[in-house]
Copies of this chain bind each other. A is one copy, B any other.
Amino acid sequence: MISLTRKAEFSAAHYYWNEAWSQEKNEAVFGRCANRNGHGHNYTLEVTVTGDVDAVTGFVVDLKELKEVMEREVVGVYDHRHLNLEVPEFKVMVPTTENIAIAIWNRLAGKIKGAKLERVRVYEMPDLFADYCGEA
């Protein structure tokens, strides 16, 4: 068993807001992220897959296919978008780094041929990232 990790980037806008709360409560909990005009980030995504190395090709996964899946399922949907306004899953959950990692896991699960999705890591900033490895 060996794992392979590929990175990708996307730039998106977001804000943190709970419709059930007052503006004061939102600002108290979410600070400057509660600004409804939105702000944004260069997100870095790391997708790790695990499997056996194919004895002939030396690959755990076809890198071109992995790249295409990441592009089609995630980068093509999130990049240059406002996550709250344009990405369905964030109309019902706050686009925190944690929730973005879970959402990307759910988008990729079952889509990568021949290898097991092992971990999704999302960096919102170089000094902040979330890891999700699916439900136990």
Contacts and interface: CB of A to CB of B under 8 A. Distances in A.
A40 B41 contact: yes
Nearest to A6: B128
A82 B3 CA distance: 24
Nearest to A53: B98
Contacts of A98: 2, 4, 53, 58-60
A37 B32 CA distance: 19
Contacts of A113: none
A71 interface: no
Contact of A80 (B32, B60, B93, B131): B32
Interface of A: 1-9, 11-14, 16, 18, 20, 29-33, 35, 37-42, 48, 53, 56-60, 63-64, 79-82, 85-86, 93-99, 101-102, 125-133, 136
